[in-house]
Structure 1
Amino acid sequence: MGIQHNILDTIYKLIFYKFKKGKEEMEKFNLIQQKLEEMKTDIEKFYTKEQNAAGSRLRKQLNEIRKVAAEIRKDIQNIKAERKSKGK
């Protein structure tokens, strides 16, 4: 599980590094964190124990993360545009 575990840890660190925003944004990041934690067992089952059902669950969880990440990307873009319009 070494490589897959390292990938999840790296994603986690990138997402949560110096995050200091409002409650709603934090909830989105917490949801991603929760999904990543839930995926650890299925990653081991899929790659180590070769259970295909775990792969299906992983794909579903990754899709959920993708949707939340898209919302966060949109929020970030809106904040950047707002800052630019204020002259920052």
Structure 2
Amino acid sequence: MSRFSEVKDLVSGLEADFEKFYEKENQAAGTRVRKGMQDLKNLAQDIRKEVQDMKNAG
């Protein structure tokens, strides 16, 4: 479950930047949102691979 916690922490950490970008049109916050979403994508891919490996091993 720690992997799920990583996902939740990453998403919740981006909340302030989402608000700054969409509500206040802060461009730097948009850059941070894009980076955070890329990190989320990479984390999700790692988790998918881990789940697939565990499934195939078991």
Superposed CA offset, 1:52-71 (max 9, x none): 11110011111111111111
Task: Quote the sequence identity (%).
Answer: 36
Runs of 4+ in 1 over 3 A off after TM superposition: none
Match of 1:73 among 44, 48, 53: 48
Q: Which has the higher helix share?
A: 2
Unaligned 5+ residue runs, structure 2?
none
Higher RCO, Cα 8 Å, sep 6+? 2
Unaligned 5+ residue runs, structure 1?
1-25, 84-88
Q: Based on CA coordinates, which of the two structures has the bigger radius of gyration?
A: 1
Compute the TM-score of the two structures, normalised by the length of structure 2: 0.84
Query: 2:26 is matched with which residue?
Result: 51
Match of 1:64 among 29, 39, 50: 39
